[in-house]
């Protein structure tokens, strides 16, 4: 029997890459080379148990990248802006993988991209964790790498960590602060995104050269709040904050996230229908919350 084609998965110990690695292993069409800077960490060992080849690789180390990408059919690339908060570094890492993919002749790269908001809005908005990924997307295609960009909607998981309901100071209720007004925001469980991406790898002729927006559903903040209230038995409301008020909040990145919401209010293209075609059993937010009550126990 011919041996399986290999897909190198970056970020395999994390949320997106881990989801992709598990989905590919589960589908059994491809072999998985799971890449990490630390092959001894539990999430790497867990992938080894599932049948992945686990290999040490650092996106900042060209030699390790060449070893990781040599001989593979394809790769899934996610870069983690939030680890270093540097658009320049994220772009450098992405372009290096693009150059090596070209040089080593990879047949299909799926890159976790996003829009270059700054360029699209003529510098009116700036969202560095989007803009760098947009620049990398463009670079991949400009040098002729067969690449599909997946623009992943907001993770449902964000609602149990970064976007967790905040206790109100003036009463026994909680609020969701993200300033979206009444505009729905696209979302998906990152744990489900891997199956969608695994199916994209199965149809290269359909997806190479395209950007695909992944979304299981789009809800308003009030709708997210209603689902959380019902499932968690708490009073959770949309704070109805404006982007102008949000950007004055006292944390680094408040302006960036306010601009991200301003961009989301322009409804960038996320394809709910296609996402469901690629994974018919993809979960709704309601399903996700009821299956993950433990993650919300601190609220």
Q: Which residues bind ligand NAP (CB under 6 A)?
A: 10-11, 13-17, 36-38, 57-60, 78-83, 129, 152, 154-155, 158
C-beta of 124 vs 158, nearer to ligand NAP: 158
| Closest separation in Å from C-beta 233 to ligand NAP | 25
CB of 19 to ligand NAP, least distance (A): 8
Q: Pick the closer one to ligand NAP by CB: 205 or 252.
A: 252
The Cα–Cα gap between 261 and 163 comes to 13
Between residues 68 and 236, which has the closer beta carbon with respect to ligand NAP? 68
Smallest distance from ligand NAP to CB 73, Å:
20
Which residue number, 120 or 168, has a Cβ lying nearer to ligand NAP? 120
Q: Rounded to an integer, what distance in angstroms lies between the CA atom of residue 280 and that of residue 13?
A: 26
Residue closer to ligand NAP by CB (options 11, 243) is: 11
Distance (Å, rounded) from C-alpha 9 to C-alpha 77? 7
Query: What is d(CA 233, CA 95) in angstroms, rounded to the nearest whole number?
Result: 47
The smaller minimum CB distance to ligand NAP, of residues 44 and 145, is found at: 44
Q: What's the min distance (Å) between Cβ of 170 and ligand NAP?
A: 29
- Please compute, for residue 19, the number of CA atoms within 13 A of its CA located in the half-sphere on the CB side: 19
CA distance 100 to 65: 8
Total length of the chain:
299
- Paired tokens of 89: 């570094």
Report the candidate in 239, 258, 237 with the shortest Cα–Cα distance to residue 247: 258
How would DSSP label each residue in 208-250? TT-EEEE-SEEE-HHHHHHHHHHHHTS-EEE----HHHHTTSS
Residue 279 CB, shortest distance to ligand NAP, in Å, is: 17
Residue nearest to ligand NAP (CB): 14
Residue with smaller CB distance to ligand NAP, 136 or 145: 136
- Smallest separation (angstroms) from ligand NAP to the CB of 253: 11
Block residue for tokens 């881990």:
18
Minimum separation from the CB atom of position 114 to ligand NAP (A): 6
Between 187 and 231, name the residue whose CB sits nearer to ligand NAP.
187
Contacts 24+ apart (CB under 8 A), 224-230: 224/159, 224/176, 224/285, 225/165, 225/175, 225/176, 227/285, 227/286, 227/289, 228/159, 228/165, 228/176, 228/289, 228/296, 228/299
Burial of 208 per CB tally in 10 Å (0-12, 13-18, 19+): middle
Minimum Å gap between C-beta 48 and ligand NAP is 13
How far is residue 96's CA from residue 111's CA, in Å, rounded to a whole number?
13
């Amino acid at each position: 029997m011919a041996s399986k084609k290999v897909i190198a998965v970056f970020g395999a110990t994390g949320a997106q890459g881990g989801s992709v690695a598990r989905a590919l292993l589960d589908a059994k069409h491809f072999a998985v080379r799971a890449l990490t800077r630390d092959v001894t960490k539990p999430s790497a060992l867990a992938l080894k148990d599932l049948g992945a080849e686990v290999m040490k690789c650092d996106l900042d180390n060209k030699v390790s990248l060449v070893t990781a990408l040599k001989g593979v059919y394809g790769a899934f690339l996610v870069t983690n802006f939030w680890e270093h908060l540097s658009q320049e570094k994220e772009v450098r890492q992405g372009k290096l993988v693009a150059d090596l993919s070209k040089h080593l002749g990879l047949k299909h790269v799926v890159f976790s991209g996003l829009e270059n908001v700054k360029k699209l809005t003529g510098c009116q908005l700036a969202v560095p964790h989007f803009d760098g990924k947009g620049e990398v997307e463009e670079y991949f295609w400009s040098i002729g790498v067969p690449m599909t960009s997946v623009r992943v909607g907001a993770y449902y998981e964000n609602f149990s960590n970064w976007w967790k309901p905040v206790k109100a100071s003036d009463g026994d209720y909680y609020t969701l602060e993200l300033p979206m007004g009444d505009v729905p925001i696209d979302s998906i469980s990152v744990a489900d995104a891997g199956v969608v991406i695994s199916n994209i790898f199965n149809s290269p002729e359909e997806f190479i050269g395209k950007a695909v927006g992944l979304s299981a559903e789009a809800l308003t903040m009030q709708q997210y709040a209603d689902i959380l209230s019902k499932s968690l038995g708490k009073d959770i409301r949309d704070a109805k904050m404006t982007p102008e008020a949000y950007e004055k909040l006292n944390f680094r990145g408040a302006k960036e996230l306010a601009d991200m919401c301003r961009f989301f209010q322009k409804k960038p293209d996320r394809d709910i229908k296609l996402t469901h075609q690629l994974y018919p059993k993809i979960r709704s937010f309601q399903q996700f919350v009821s299956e993950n009550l433990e993650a919300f126990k601190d609220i």
